[in-house]
Amino acid sequence: MSRVKNKRCAILGAGITGLAVARFLKDAGAEIVVFEADGVTGGLCRSDDVDGFIYDVAGGHVLFSRDPEVMSFLAGLMGPSNLVRSERNTRIFFRGRYVNYPFENGLNDLSAEDNFLCLRGFVDAFYKRKYENPPAPENFKDWIRYRFGDGIGDLFMDPYNEKIWKTDLKKLSAAWVAGRIPDAPVDDIIKTSVGITTSGYKHQAIFFYPREGGFQAIPDRLAETIESDIRLNTRVNSIARTDDGYEVNGEKFDEVVSTIPMDKVYSLIEKPDPDSKKAAESLDFLSLATFLIGLDGKDESNDLCWIYLPHPENGPCNRITYLSNYSPNNAPPGTTSVLCEATYREEPKDMDAMADEVVTALDKNGLIDKSKLRTLAWRKIPHAYIVFGLDFAKKRDKAIKGLRDLGIHPVGRFGRYEYLNSDMCVRAALDTAAELIGEMPKPKEMELGREFTESVYADQNLSIGPTKAD
């Protein structure tokens, strides 16, 4: 018997996490209300249409999950024929060359001198670990050298990570950041260095993208199933614990699930634990400026997905994505769309000037032809990346505990400060709903998408194994 049957549940935020929790609770008989500050659902998964160009506003998004239940749910939700399959084809733009990704699997694309420096450093680091067995460093900067050696560290890892993280790499925790970096066997590196192709990083070797409507189509489909329960343009301003439940904006509820960034939610809560509030408010994050560049013309031979831009001379962006390659409906016929991402700490004052800087740098580097510019738009995303400082885990745990002690369920990328992609947000939503309901939800879409997932996994030689955040 569902523990939430006929209970009133407030879901704070209508990003993919909030929508998924709401949907699972509703299926279990709860009366739900989703509060969303924005005028549209989707949060970081939102896409806008600008002059016929689809614009994933928080940067290029792709769909894949190693979690078979989540993959099945999302495929069932969308319908497999509404998903476009792509093979990951990505590069690093390095001193005018296109280097295979990941960098250590692209050494042969470098100049002979750079290739030698990187290979020697990698092999040195390998033998140092093997014979001296030093402890893995706690900070990310030293960990880069421990894992990849000086060459790859100096030439690629340091500049790229400094560009994206805008933080002294010695102050980042290796434990959190390194887990997201693919591990490469030494044999593969030697092979790639001498020109024998290796596949490298297998995750997201293929991915999917909605045929119509951009990545937003995924939260849209979810929202359709609970439309009448979503309140748009309704910011949560107050959350109070009462004798028999909660009040959200003065309205009574039995349960509260929050996907509002944890560093912000405490200021809405009546009488929070002061130490937990302090911990939450000291959690560090990065913002993101994105730029959509629509260009006349389409180079049919360009099948790249995205390119990393590690160096300052490439302009402010750390990555560009060819969104028009993800679905034929992402751009008007005969055009190309390039989505550019630049993290920031201090809010850029003049976005038009920054957009100009982005376009000029890409043009100068030969990555776009400025004379073909047709559309230029920008967006600012206040919460984009969690910054994993050395004391991150302690602060985050304290902040979560403060909410849990009040009976509030924090979940989501910033709702709980977990480095989740949207698929793992759905997993987190399933787990949160299971905790409230008393059993794991089994939405009907999961069954509908199961056959599709089995065929995709078989194609990728993926076992239906344990789940892991991307």
Ligand X SMILES: Cc1cc2nc3c(=O)[nH]c(=O)nc-3n(C[C@H](O)[C@H](O)[C@H](O)COP(=O)(O)OP(=O)(O)OC[C@H]3O[C@@H](n4cnc5c(N)ncnc54)[C@H](O)[C@@H]3O)c2cc1C
User: What residues line the site for ligand X (CB under 6 A)?
Assistant: 12-18, 35-38, 43-45, 58-59, 61-62, 235-236, 259-260, 288, 341, 384, 412-415, 420-423, 425
260, two tokens: 């509002």
Q: Choose between 38 and 369: whose C-beta lies nearer to ligand X.
A: 38
The SS3 call for residue 382 is strand
Q: Is 469 exposed, middle or buried (0-12, 13-18, 19+ CB in 10 A)?
A: middle
The SS3 call for residue 350 is coil
Answer yes or no: are the C-beta atoms of 273 and 288 closer than 8 Å. Answer: no
CA 292 to CA 219: how far, in whole Å?
Answer: 21
Instruction: Give me the least distance between CB of 112 and ligand X, in Å please.
Output: 34
Instruction: Give me the least distance between CB of 73 and ligand X, in Å please.
Output: 13
Instruction: Give me the least distance between CB of 76 and ligand X, in Å please.
Output: 17
In one-letter notation, the amino acid at residue 238 is S
Instruction: Give me the least distance between CB of 426 and ligand X, in Å please.
Output: 9
Instruction: Give me the least distance between CB of 397 and ligand X, in Å please.
Output: 19
Q: Is 88 exposed, middle or buried (0-12, 13-18, 19+ CB in 10 A)?
A: middle
Q: Choose between 116 and 419: whose C-beta lies nearer to ligand X.
A: 419
Name 133's Cβ contacts closer than 8 Å, sequence gap at least 6: none
Q: Is 462 exposed, middle or buried (0-12, 13-18, 19+ CB in 10 A)?
A: middle
Instruction: Give me the least distance between CB of 65 and ligand X, in Å please.
Output: 8
Instruction: State residue 445 phi and psi, 5-degree precision.
Output: -65, -25
Instruction: Give me the least distance between CB of 140 and ligand X, in Å please.
Output: 19
Q: Choose between 59 and 121: whose C-beta lies nearer to ligand X.
A: 59
Q: Choose between 2 and 90: whose C-beta lies nearer to ligand X.
A: 90
In one-letter notation, the amino acid at residue 34 is V
Instruction: Give me the least distance between CB of 329 and ligand X, in Å please.
Output: 18
* Torsion, Cα of 212, 214, 216, 219 (10° steps): 50
Q: Choose between 190 and 351: whose C-beta lies nearer to ligand X.
A: 351
Instruction: State residue 9 phi and psi, 5-degree precision.
Output: -120, 125
Sign of the torsion formed by the C-alpha atoms of 70, 72, 73 and 75:
positive
Answer yes or no: are the C-beta atoms of 418 and 41 closer than 8 Å. Answer: no
Q: Choose between 144 and 420: whose C-beta lies nearer to ligand X.
A: 420
Q: Choose between 216 and 375: whose C-beta lies nearer to ligand X.
A: 216
Q: Choose between 12 and 361: whose C-beta lies nearer to ligand X.
A: 12
Instruction: Give me the least distance between CB of 178 and ligand X, in Å please.
Output: 19
Q: Choose between 141 and 319: whose C-beta lies nearer to ligand X.
A: 319
Q: What is the DSSP string of 291-324?
A: EEEEEE---TT----EEE--SGGG-S-SEEE-GG
Question: Taking the chain, what is the end-to-end CA distance rounded to the nearest angstrom?
Answer: 34
DSSP designation for 137:
P
Instruction: Give me the least distance between CB of 226 and ligand X, in Å please.
Output: 14
- Measured at the CA of 432, the angle between CA 84 and CA 406, to 5 degrees, comes to 140
Residue 195 CB-half CA count within 13 A: 2
Q: Choose between 43 and 106: whose C-beta lies nearer to ligand X.
A: 43
Q: Choose between 11 and 362: whose C-beta lies nearer to ligand X.
A: 11
Q: What is the DSSP string of 174-225?
A: HHHHGGGSPP--HHHHHHHHHT-------TTSEEEEESSS-TTHHHHHHHHT
SS3 content of the chain, % helix, strand, coil (to 5): 40, 25, 35
Instruction: Give me the least distance between CB of 111 and ligand X, in Å please.
Output: 31
Instruction: Give me the least distance between CB of 433 and ligand X, in Å please.
Output: 14
Q: Choose between 100 and 204: whose C-beta lies nearer to ligand X.
A: 204
Other beta carbons within 10 angstroms of residue 285's beta carbon come to: 17
